[in-house]
Amino acid sequence: MECGPVITLPTIMTGTFMPGVGRRVTLRDVALEAGVSIKTVSRVVNGEPAVNQATAVRVAGVVERLGYRPNELARDLKGQRSRTIGLVISDISNPFMASCAQDAESDHERSARSGRRWGPGSPAA
């Protein structure tokens, strides 16, 4: 008995793509799964308007399904900026100093979420 040709479906058609164990999902993984370019995925993730609505919905679905999270360290390196602050504290075991460090961290996180700048010349400086 002879069978017809074997057709192998790419992962974009089967919805079965999973990254290797211990490996982060990348823009490339999302692009392959969604059948679009890496730049298109980047545009969707960054909320740029130059993407067809149906494509944006498809890519967003793949981002959600695969659990893609932007690599903030890579983003900072690419943008030549950092979203980190440095504190010099003489004695972190001192409850007052530990409290100051926690307050600075909390305020910095709130500022980052709200889009407020934190640094020289900003209202928080």
**pLDDT computed for residue 55 by the predictor:** 94
- Is 114:120 a contact under the CB 8 Å cutoff? no
pLDDT tens digits, 76-110: 777 666 667 778 888 878 899 888 888 888 887 77
Biggest distance spanned by C-alpha atoms of the chain: 82
For residue 74, is pLDDT > 80? no
71 vs 81 pLDDT, higher one: 71
Q: Which two tokens stand for residue 120?
A: 């020289």
Q: What residue ranges define each of the domains in the chain, with the CATH number in brackets?
A: 11-77 (1.10.260.40), 84-125 (no CATH)
Q: Which pLDDT belongs to residue 115?
A: 61
- pLDDT tens digits, one per residue of 55-64: 999 999 999 9
Measured between alpha carbons, how far is 35 from 26 in angstroms, rounded to an integer? Answer: 14
For residue 119, give every residue at least 6 positions away whose Cβ sits within 8 Å of its Cβ, in sequence order, or none: 125
Q: Please tell me the predicted confidence (pLDDT) of residue 32.
A: 94
The pLDDT value given to residue 90: 82
Is-contact 85 97, C-beta < 8 A? no
pTM, rounded to two decimals: 0.52
Residue 81: its pLDDT value, please? 67
Length of the chain: 125
